[in-house]
Chain A
Amino acid sequence: MDNSLDQLVEAARAGDKTAAVGLIELFYARVYAFLRRLASNEADAADLTQRTFSRVWQALPSFAGRSSVACWIHGIAYHVYVDWRRADHPAESRSNDWWSACPAADAPPDEMAARADLAATLYASVERLEPGLRESVHLHYYQSLTLEETAGAMGVAVSTVKYRLRLALDHLHKKLDAAEGGRMVRRAR
């Protein structure tokens, strides 16, 4: 997988448009999902995705290979989102309920309902986290980047990512406990 990815990057660097299309096929869905979760609507996410790949082609000759390709592209996407949020939509930094439009996973009906309830509460709590914590959760958990890749994409130290994730998990834990207590109270009534 890595060798084929390296060959694609090398070919795209050499000017092979087919290889560039191959890179798009590999990463555009992940990049769109990442930006869609952060942005407020699909149109903005699509626009940010286009900006991201435009920067990827510009920065491709200077890609030195010090990080993985996924980390490098996610880093570009993260900075594109930060620039967009600062310049164009400072008030729309919160995304909408994107998870409600996503198809539910296969599970028994009763279990699926409970997990969907938990997941909805959890995802909603994530979107209410502070910006640094929220993006760390997105990159590490949603985009399945490692701690090192998350740190490289955000341009911070690995220890910073660990600290932010710890804070985020503690916050989410408290939110879920509070939400579960509320549901039990409602059931008792």
Chain B
Amino acid sequence: MNTPEQEIEDTLRRAPAPKAPAGLKDRLAAQIQLAPVRAKAPTSAQALHPRSWLGRWWPALAPAAVSLACAMVVTVQQTEIRDLKQTLEALSQGATGQAPVPAQGAVQPAALGGPSETQQQEIARLQDLARRLAGEIAQLEQLRAENEKLRARVAAAAASGLTPEEEAALAEAREKAALARCGNNLKQLGISVKVWALDNDQLLPPDILCMSNEIASPITLICPSDTGRQAAAGWSAYNSANCSYEYLGGSGGRSDEEPDRVLFRCPIHGSIGLADASVQMSVAKKHPEDLVWKDGKLYDKPHDALPEGKAPGAPSQGSSPDPSR
């Protein structure tokens, strides 16, 4: 009942062929227009037969060949890397197994397979240079130690190098310097009194603080040898504790009438400053008899010029001539 497939195919293959109309062949032949022959026409074998298998498969074979070549290169590189690793391991094992270990980076020629003569010369030169540098370093260390010793000796000499005589002379010089600076202070105070008197009708200032405009600095009021007092930071902070000198002009009087009146006295050095702004050094210590109190005022009267008077604090009220004055 069912038509076999083979019969269907046979029937299809036996299908009748429509006959071409008459004259078609002639028309086709009349319409032949062959193209001009190319200059480089392919040969008959190339044109009519399929290309060789190489020509067909070269697009696939070329990448395959490239991949194969890359694989070969990678394989060769891996082999070389493995060989180099083995060589390095052998060298490291040989280097660690050798005894004694060469000092200061010396190279083992045998371990490296024998360096050339030039390398050996370079190694020898470097070793010689290292020895010389080591010697120079030792010399520098020795010089450094000697320098340290000299420094310590110089420091010790500076600390206690002076002889007692030298130390006494130095102390005397320092005392003289302090005495000179004390006299300088008294001189400046005397000048300040004169300046203040010029502005105040030749009257003496009642105290030191009223001369703050005439005295350059409170430091002037401190004797250099008076280590127990400190100069006031300013006139606003000034008090009697910030002055080393005794002011004896507070009882009044005029500055131009009694030039030999003592206005300032240093209790440490015994120097005095007079109303005429002159200074007599160490009078109270060396010639206390020349200082005479009169009417509550202290005068500097040489012993021969004082007819009668008293010297306060003096062993005797009288005065004795001082050949040094």
What residues make up the interface of A, taking CB atoms closer than 8 Å to B? 6-7, 9-10, 12-17, 20-21, 24-25, 28-30, 32-33, 36-37, 42, 45-46, 49-50, 53-54, 57-58, 60-61, 63-66, 98-99, 101-105, 115, 118-119, 122-123, 126, 137, 141-142, 144, 169, 172-173, 176-177, 180
Contact A50/B17 with A65-B46, A180-B1 known, Cβ cut-off 8 Å:
no
Within the complex, what minimum Cβ distance (angstroms) separates B33 from chain A?
Answer: 5
Tell me, in angstroms, the Cα distance from A66 to B286 when the chains sit together: 147
Which segment of B34-42, B168-176, B300-308 sits at the interface?
A: B34-42
Q: Which of B47-55, B133-141, B287-295 contacts A (4 or more CB under 8 A)?
A: B47-55
> How far, in Å, is B42 (CB) from chain A's closest CB?
7
Main secondary structure on B side of the interface with A: loop
Q: Taking CB as reference atom, which chain A residue is nearest B24?
A: A46
Binds A, one of B4-12, B67-75, B189-197, B211-219: B4-12
Known: A49-B24, A65-B47. A118 touches B34 (CB 8 A): no
Q: Mark B282-325, 1 if CB is under 8 A from A, else 0.
A: 00000000000000000000000000000000000000000000
Contact of B36 among A15, A65, A99, A180 (CB under 8 A): A15
Q: Is the CB of A102 within 8 A of B18?
A: yes
Q: A17-B34, A102-B18, A176-B8 are in contact. List 8 more A-B contacts (CB 8 A).
A: A32-B18, A32-B24, A99-B16, A118-B11, A126-B12, A173-B3, A176-B3, A180-B1
Q: Once the chains bind, are B50 and A65 in contact (CB under 8 Å)?
A: yes
Q: Verify B20–A49 contact, CB threshold 8 A.
A: yes
Return the 5 tightest CB-CB contacts between A and B, nearest first.
Answer: A102-B16, A141-B12, A33-B17, A36-B18, A32-B20
Q: Name the residue on B nearest A2 (C-beta).
A: B48
Interface pairs (23), CB distance under 8 Å: A6-B48, A10-B47, A10-B48, A15-B34, A20-B32, A33-B20, A49-B20, A50-B27, A50-B28, A57-B32, A57-B34, A61-B37, A104-B16, A105-B16, A118-B11, A119-B14, A122-B12, A142-B12, A142-B13, A169-B9, A173-B3, A173-B5, A176-B3
State whether A13 and B5 are in contact (beta carbons under 8 Å apart), knowing that A20-B34, A24-B28 are contacts in the complex.
Answer: no
B110 contacts the other chain (CB 8 A): no
**Contact across chains for A60 and B34 when beta carbons are under 8 A apart:** yes
Complex Cα distance A74/B8, Å?
Answer: 23
Please tell me if B21 contacts chain A, counting CB pairs below 8 Å.
yes
Q: Does B160 contact A (CB under 8 A)?
A: no
Complex contact A173–B1 (CB within 8 A): no
Instruction: List residues of B whose CB falls within 8 A of some A CB.
Output: 1-3, 5, 7-9, 11-21, 24-25, 27-29, 31-38, 41-42, 44, 46-51
Smallest CB separation, A71 vs chain B (Å) = 12
CB distance from A128 to the nearest CB of B (A): 14
Q: Please judge, given known A-B contacts A13-B47, A115-B11, A141-B12, whether A21 and B21 are in contact too, CB under 8 Å.
A: no
Bound together, the chains give a CA A30 to CA B28 distance in angstroms of 14
